[in-house]
Amino acid sequence: MYTARVKFKRGNEIRFISHLDMQRMVQRILRRAHIPMKYSEGFNPHPKLAFAMAMSVGMLSDCEYFDVELENHVDPDEMISRINKSSPEGFTAVNALVTNQKMQSLTSLIEESEYTINAKLLNSEDSKKLEDAVKTILGEESIKYRKRNKKGRYNEKEIRPLIKDLDLVIENSKIKLGMRLSTGSKENLRPDVVIGILDPEKILFDWEFGFLTKRTFLGKSNLRERI
Amino acid sequence: MKERLEKLLPLVETPARYTGNEVNSIKKSINEGTIRFCMGFPDVYEVGMSHLGIKILYSMLNDREDVYCERVFAPWTDMEDLMRENEIPLFSLETQTPVSEFDFVGFTLQYEMSYTNILNMLDLAGVQIFAKDRDERSPLIIFGGPCAYNPEPIAEFADMVIIGEGEEVLSELMDLYSTHKNNYNRKSFLKAAARIQGVYVPEFYKAEYNDDGTLKRFDAVEAEVPEMIKKRFVKDLDNIYYPDNFVVPYIEIVHDRSLLELFRGCTRGCRFCQAGMIYRPLREKSLETLKKDADALIESTGYEEISLSSLSTMDYTCLPELTDYLMEKYAEKRIAVGLPSLRIDSFSIQTAEKIQQVRKTGLTFAPEAGTQRMRDVINKGVTEEDLISSVSEAFDLGWGHVKLYFMIGLPTETMEDVDGIAKLGYKVLDKYFETKSEKKNKKIKVVVSTSSFVPKAFTPFQWVRQDTIEEITEKQRYLIDNMRSKMINYSWHDPKVSYLEGVFARGDRKLAKVLYSAFKKGCKFDGSKEHFNYEKWLEAFKEEGIDPDFYTARERSVDELFPWDFIDMGVTKAFLAKEYQKALQGKLTGFCKFKCENCGFNEFEEGWKCHVYSKSQV
Ligand code: SF4
């Protein structure tokens, strides 16, 4: 049995689809590309496809991964080219690795990600306030985040250690906010939580203009890409 | 537009409904000469994208170099609110062009309860709702689809209505338009269009009514337009365009699979069924064509299922050969073959057993009525024995999930017939407990579903009185009370919706103002529980001085002139009347695939002769 690990990008054209849609889309791409997927047994066979991390609706990415089990070996370069020929605009496979060795699961490999967020200031005079808010977060030793759980009760969670780095660039009223946050099955922090902490009263960012979030790197803290 | 949209998309549910760019969606360069056609479906994306007809027409129109066909669906109410707030007009998916800028906008009429959505979409597009208010700059609004066979309730909103199958008519309309485009005049184009067989231009006709509200006369008021509108049908399905690909949506749609059309028409002759009458005659595609179509669709879509889609799929002459071919070629690739509904016999169970090697799902049967007497009235040639031996075979083979479809409110129905439905449900359940096979499924679920019968134009029951809301409610309550078993799951339809459907299914032009008023009151997505507002509808009827019971509660006399009688759909009114009489006597009419029953079609059009199959061919 072989496993292919594929790195891909998600562009603007498909950023509004959900994680479930994404899984379905990739299955169909692989089928059109005649990639010999291995199926599960049973009444309702499905391909064995696993993504590193779900992506929220609206998010772009330069670096995502999925694993798929194969019936036989496929040349990685050929796989990439066949996938890209069968993909909709906005989906690009970048790299692949095909092996018959057991690989560590994607979810267990992921520890943190980098994000770039494009946004706008509500008032251009407020740049100082936002810079201060960033500094405050970085200066804090502890940040508690209150979150409603599924039962409707509030949970408090320490999130400061999950914020590895913040980096703010403001030009006129345009904002480029870099974040490095814990990601993965153990600890996970979503960038919109940090945005909420930076601007709890919604007076700094132009919320109506919105936030364009791009995951630029998904991987381990050793700062090397997986493939 | 694109930028303004991008800001709204994060705020709505399922934004991918509005973004287009799916695999196999069409991109074209647009120039001066391009005819721009916007294909509309008056429901949300997931429903509209599941519909085979618009898939065919979308691909076919785009196959022409001089036409660019795009798509538009009804935005869900969250999106609509944002669009209105931000003054974003209704736009096409492919290029985000405002719908008002197209040359043509088509809407398919699949069910009556989508009519208000059409008005709402026209309004969102900024297009005049009534045809009489449109001018030279307005797009031409075309309606088609099954409900267009009685176009009168929506006639005042349409510039043209297409009666019958769309492929050939639309091509002819495009050819005609290309000769008019540079020197366009709305009236002269419509006049020329009205001479194409299958095109009805409502503004060229006038209806007059008797004092009691029934139709007195219906006349052409424009010179050189036909008095009768003859439907169109494609004579040879092997030589007509069929798409080799489908747009593959990102989001899960209602029928998320490839659809293979095996044949058109159905000759079983069930008397309640409009499709069975209006889609005559029976025309099968050849096995070779179907193999080719299936291969192309599977290759280009990547779908994991291909559904054999026709009115009574099991009747296809070469079904065993076709399913063998698909299984041999695709089972290994885990591509499943789907059958929408099974005929109630052993052959069907065997076929289902064969194709469900890949993915096992439930079985669906439609006995339609609970007693033999009732089934004879509707000409459903099925016996209780057929059903019981079929489910028994299915249980033996390991199925545990069986769906049974029935109708209530059929003409001449009594409580005994209703009770028959509950009894059948239990008999099926009993059969399960009697099953001794080793393959017997450990889980059992019998789903009994009733829809409420709505008499439709162009059927043998077009004369009958429809059950009232109270009568239907009583029957549903009876079934709820008499199918209490946890292993039987009973579901039913909202009788108020069926009642309104009934009004429009046999309605006339007077209903246009009611539709307009209901739309003004905010009625939309009337097919969805969340939005259906019966009180608003009743207000609309009241304000316009129209009694909805006029359309449903009357038994019509044999010689009444119907609003749809100016349409010649091939099957004659005399044949329908004869069928109605036979129904009342409980007499059956045979399956006309083997022996012609003289419905009129053989005299309908020169050069057409129905193919009669010998039984040995099946
Ligand atoms: S003309 Fe005869 S064979 Fe043809 S559809 Fe009518 S009844 Fe059937």
For the CA of B595, the closest atom of ligand 1 is 3
> What pLDDT sits at residue A224?
54
**Residue range B194-237, pLDDT digits in tens:** 999 999 999 999 999 999 999 999 999 999 999 999 999 999 99
- Could you give the C-alpha distances from B594 to B201, B233, B261, B319, B320, in angstroms and in order? 38, 21, 22, 17, 19
Q: Residue B202, preceding bond cis, omega within 30 degrees?
A: no
φ and ψ at B538, to 5 degrees? -60, -40
- Could you give the C-alpha distances from B515 to B90, B113, B529, in angstroms and in order? 20, 10, 19
What spacing in Å lies between the alpha carbon of B572 and ligand 1's midpoint? 11
* Portion 52-71 of A in contact with B at CB < 8 A: 57-58
Residue B616's pLDDT band (boundaries 50, 70, 90)?
A: low
Tell me how far apart the alpha carbons of residues B141 and B160 are, in angstroms, rounded to a whole number: 6
If one residue of B598, B609, B611, B614 were mutated to test the ligand 1 pocket, choosing by the most ligand atoms within 8 A of its CB, it would be B598
B414 exposed, middle or buried (CB, 10 Å; 0-12, 13-18, 19+)?
exposed
**Residue range B246-263, pLDDT digits in tens:** 999 999 999 999 999 999
Hey, is the C-beta of A34 within 8 angstroms of any chain B C-beta?
A: no
Distance from the A162 Cα atom to the nearest Cα atom in chain B, whole angstroms: 26
* Portion 206-225 of A in contact with B at CB < 8 A: 208-210
Taking the domain B2-230, which CATH number applies? 3.40.50.280
B302 → closest Cβ in A18, A28, A44? A28
Say how many C-beta atoms besides its own lie within 10 A of residue B174's C-beta.
18
Under 8 Å between Cβ of B106 and B143: yes
Hey, is the C-beta of A125 within 8 angstroms of any chain B C-beta?
A: no
Longest dimension (CA), chain A: 62
Q: Give chain B's end-to-end CA distance (angstroms, integer).
A: 56
The fraction of chain B above a pLDDT of 70, given in percent, is 99
Q: At what angle do helices B495-505 and B534-543 cross, to 10 degrees?
A: 40
pLDDT at A227 over 80: no
For the CA of B601, the closest atom of ligand 1 is 1
Under 8 Å between Cβ of B561 and B218: yes
Q: At what angle do helices B166-180 and B52-63 cross, to 10 degrees?
A: 40
ipTM score over 0.85, yes or no: yes
Q: Residues enclosing ligand 1, CB less than 6 A?
A: B 267, 280-281, 592, 596-599, 601-602, 610
B22 → closest Cβ in A39, A45, A88? A88
Closest alpha carbon to A90 in B33, B16, B398, B383: B16
Question: Which segment of A205-214, B142-151, B209-218 scores lowest on mean pLDDT?
Answer: A205-214
The fraction of chain A above a pLDDT of 90, given in percent, is 66
What spacing in Å lies between the alpha carbon of B374 and ligand 1's midpoint? 24
Q: Give chain A's end-to-end CA distance (angstroms, integer).
A: 20
Residue A45 vs residue A149, higher pLDDT: A45
Q: At what angle do helices B115-125 and B77-85 cross, to 10 degrees?
A: 20
pLDDT at B145 over 90: yes
For the CA of B282, the closest atom of ligand 1 is 5
Residue nearest to atom 6 of ligand 1 (CA): B599
| Domain spans of chain B, in order of start | 2-230
Residue nearest to atom 8 of ligand 1 (CA): B592
Token output for B239: 């030589």
B359–A28 C-beta distance less than 8 A: no
Longest dimension (CA), chain B: 76
Residue B345's pLDDT band (boundaries 50, 70, 90)?
A: confident
| Mean pLDDT score, B593-604 | 91
Residue A2's pLDDT band (boundaries 50, 70, 90)?
A: very high
What spacing in Å lies between the alpha carbon of B233 and ligand 1's midpoint? 14
> What pLDDT sits at residue B618?
46
Tell me how far apart the alpha carbons of residues B232 and B423 are, in angstroms, rounded to a whole number: 43
Tell me how far apart the alpha carbons of residues B263 and B616 are, in angstroms, rounded to a whole number: 19
Tell me how far apart the alpha carbons of residues B270 and B405 are, in angstroms, rounded to a whole number: 14
Under 8 Å between Cβ of B417 and B410: yes
Secondary structure class of B549 (helix, strand, coil): helix
| Mean pLDDT score, B40-65 | 96
Tell me how far apart the alpha carbons of residues B218 and A59 are, in angstroms, rounded to a whole number: 59
* Interface with chain B: mutation pick from A10, A23, A31, highest number of B CBs within 10 Å: A31
Comparing alpha-carbon positions, the chain B residue that sits nearest to A57 is B10
> What pLDDT sits at residue B411?
97
Exposure string for B220-251, b = 16+ CB within 10 A, e = fewer? beeeebbeebbbbbbeebeebebbebbbbbbb
Tell me what the pLDDT averaged over chain B comes to. Answer: 94
Domains and CATH numbers, chain A: 2-104 (3.30.70.580), 110-219 (3.30.70.3190)
The one-character DSSP state at B182 is: G
Which residues in B have their CB inside 8 Å of a CB on A? 7, 9-10, 14-16, 19, 21-23, 248, 250-252, 299-304, 333-334, 358-360
